[in-house]
């Protein structure tokens, strides 16, 4: 017998029994009981707003899989472009498919000259790179008249390809403008991460350290998708109105721009800098436990109630990077903080384990990226996750334009009072 749940309306005695599938039961049960009833669920803590076959996340056991493949295997054996293909198509590419995919992405990395010369040059000289990136994503769609034709698969595929290929170019352009540096054109002979590093720093083909190139690829893989997070939800909500993918991606990037979503690794670096020395870690931990204003950043997660599997991978990647760049001086503080917190029942009992943001900022900083670029670095790979969900949304016949209901708590009906009587 399948699992079921029975809901009773005590007011009327009416009962509804509905199936439970994978721990989920349909909200239609509430509508059947009484169409005027709604479920109050702030931040969608217990609401599944869609079905998805893209990413599986088991927070209790620290499991993350893309299309069934464990993140540990993908990070150690795959490349970002291979993972991007997997997320979009559901299966890993064969050799011919991967070669064609790489070729197509590589040959779409350029952006229109008017985008660079007229649009970007219009930003204020001290504009934040992420603000520029968000705006550029939306503006990019204005260069492609077929972007609105989302019912045509060929058109959708072309826009998806353009977005994945051009986001590193937009990101590096935003940084170099903010730093007062000239634009660096893409180099089609380089790999996806190598091209991005070259556009950032103008390294030259033969001077890109393969260890840093691989580290960038691993970071891109780890950040490619993460189920129904705030940015992905924004992508789906805006996409449900049948907005083009550039507009939808700009909405997703705007959500990521918020410090509670994409700013965590930046906050970790600030925290470690404020701690200043490993000898100050015990006192900092006590301040956190005592609620004296200090917060432990980079620990805990809305979904993970165990060790974030990405954190284990990224910690190893950090050591690979430091072999090239030299050890980030904040690393010793981070290691001491992790050791202290994980041996303290206060944090263990609350299931506060390191997440992916705890070490990623240290890597970015060691590689020379300014703190203002951290969220942009997150957005580059996450774009493919957003697009995979946008594509899945459009194919889901159960989906309609997103329109949550509200719990009205304002005053009841009242009559207008003329100004002379107030």
Query: What per-residue confidence (pLDDT) applies to 1?
Result: 64
Q: If you average pLDDT over residues 20-30, what whole number do you get?
A: 89
Share of residues in the chain with pLDDT > 70 (%): 99
Q: State the pLDDT confidence band at 205, using cuts at 50, 70 and 90.
A: low
Query: What per-residue confidence (pLDDT) applies to 120?
Result: 85
Q: If you average pLDDT over residues 24-41, what whole number do you get?
A: 89
Q: State the pLDDT confidence band at 30, using cuts at 50, 70 and 90.
A: confident
Rounded-to-integer distance, Cα 57 and Cα 44, Å: 16
Q: State the pLDDT confidence band at 51, using cuts at 50, 70 and 90.
A: very high
Annotated catalytic residue, options 9, 261, 320, 332: 261
Query: What per-residue confidence (pLDDT) applies to 119?
Result: 86
Q: If you average pLDDT over residues 230-249, what whole number do you get?
A: 97
Rounded-to-integer distance, Cα 17 and Cα 5, Å: 6
Q: If you average pLDDT over residues 24-51, what whole number do you get?
A: 90
φ, ψ (nearest 5 deg) of residue 35: -60, -15
Rounded-to-integer distance, Cα 365 and Cα 330, Å: 10
Contacts by 89-96 with C-beta closer than 8 Å and gap 24+?
90/53, 91/67
- Summarised one tens digit per residue, pLDDT across range 253-296 is 999 999 888 888 888 999 999 999 999 999 999 999 988 778 89
Query: What per-residue confidence (pLDDT) applies to 300?
Result: 84
Question: For residue 354, is pLDDT > 70?
Answer: yes
Q: If you average pLDDT over residues 206-221, what whole number do you get?
A: 93
- Summarised one tens digit per residue, pLDDT across range 157-168 is 999 999 999 999
Annotated catalytic residue, options 217, 225, 244, 357: 357
Nearest to 196 by CA among 224, 226, 217, 225: 217
Annotated catalytic residue, options 223, 301, 308, 389: 301
User: Is residue 88 classed exposed, middle or buried when 0-12, 13-18 and 19+ CB atoms within 10 A define those classes?
Assistant: buried
Active site residue 226: no
Query: What per-residue confidence (pLDDT) applies to 170?
Result: 96
Nearest to 49 by CA among 222, 236, 225, 176: 236
Active site residue 389: no
Please calculate the CA angle 90-156-162 and round it to the nearest 5 degrees: 90
Active site residue 108: no
Residue with token string 């550029």: 136
Nearest to 102 by CA among 90, 117, 116, 84: 84
Q: If you average pLDDT over residues 45-67, what whole number do you get?
A: 94
Query: What per-residue confidence (pLDDT) applies to 152?
Result: 96
Q: State the pLDDT confidence band at 419, using cuts at 50, 70 and 90.
A: very high
pLDDT, mean over the chain: 93
Tokens of 2: 């399948």
Q: Compute and round to an integer the Cα radius of gyration of the chain.
A: 24
pTM for the full predicted model: 0.93
- Summarised one tens digit per residue, pLDDT across range 113-144 is 888 888 888 899 899 999 999 999 999 999 99
The mean-pLDDT minimum among 102-111, 216-225, 297-306, 342-351 falls in 297-306
Write out the H or E segment, with its range, that includes residue 17.
Answer: strand 15-19
Query: What per-residue confidence (pLDDT) applies to 371?
Result: 93
Residue 192 CA to chain centroid, in angstroms?
19
Q: If you average pLDDT over residues 402-416, what whole number do you get?
A: 94
Nearest to 393 by CA among 192, 260, 251: 251
* Domain boundaries 52-397, corresponding CATH code: 1.10.580.10
Name the segment(s) of the chain with CATH classification 1.10.580.10.
52-397
């Amino acid at each position: 017998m399948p699992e079921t749940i029975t809901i009773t309306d005590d007011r009327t005695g009416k009962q509804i029994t509905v199936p439970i599938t994978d721990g989920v039961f349909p909200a239609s049960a509430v509508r059947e009981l009484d169409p005027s009833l709604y479920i109050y669920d702030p931040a969608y803590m217990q609401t599944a707003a869609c079905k998805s076959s893209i990413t599986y996340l088991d927070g209790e056991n620290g499991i993350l899989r893309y299309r069934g493949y464990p993140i540990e295997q993908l990070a150690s054996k795959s490349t970002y472009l291979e993972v991007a293909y997997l997320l979009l198509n559901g299966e890993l590419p064969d050799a011919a498919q991967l070669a064609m995919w790489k070729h197509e992405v590589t040959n779409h990395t350029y952006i229109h000259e008017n985008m660079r010369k007229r649009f970007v040059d219009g930003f204020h000289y001290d504009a934040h790179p992420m603000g520029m990136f968000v705006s550029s994503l939306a503006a990019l769609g204005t260069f492609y008249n077929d972007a609105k034709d989302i019912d045509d698969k060929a058109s959708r595929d072309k826009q998806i390809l353009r977005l994945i290929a051009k986001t590193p170019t937009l990101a590096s352009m935003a940084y170099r403008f903010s730093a007062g540096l000239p634009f660096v054109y893409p180099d089609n002979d380089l790999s996806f991460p190598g091209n991005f590093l070259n556009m950032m720093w103008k390294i030259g083909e033969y001077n890109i350290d393969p260890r840093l190139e691989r580290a960038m690829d691993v970071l891109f893989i780890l950040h490619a998708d993460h189920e129904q997070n705030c940015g992905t939800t924004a992508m789906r909500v805006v996409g449900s109105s049948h907005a083009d993918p550039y507009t939808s991606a700009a909405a997703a990037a705007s959500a990521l721009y918020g410090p509670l979503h994409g700013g965590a690794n930046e906050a970790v670096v600030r925290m470690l800098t404020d701690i200043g020395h490993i000898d100050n870690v015990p006192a900092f931990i006590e301040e956190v436990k005592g609620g004296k204003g200090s917060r432990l950043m980079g620990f805990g997660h809305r979904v993970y109630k165990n060790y974030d599997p990405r954190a284990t991978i990224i910690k190893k990647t950090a050591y690979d990077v430091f072999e090239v760049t030299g050890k980030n001086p904040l690393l010793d503080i981070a290691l001491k903080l992790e050791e202290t917190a994980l041996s303290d029942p206060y944090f263990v009992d609350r299931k506060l384990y390191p997440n992916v943001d705890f070490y990623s900022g240290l890597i970015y900083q060691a590689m020379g990226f300014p703190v203002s670029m951290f969220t942009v670095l997150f957005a580059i790979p996450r774009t493919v996750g957003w697009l995979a969900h946008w594509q899945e949304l459009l194919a889901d016949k159960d989906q309609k334009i997103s329109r949550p209901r509200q719990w009205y708590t304002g005053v009841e009906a009242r009559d207008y009072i003329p100004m002379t009587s107030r």
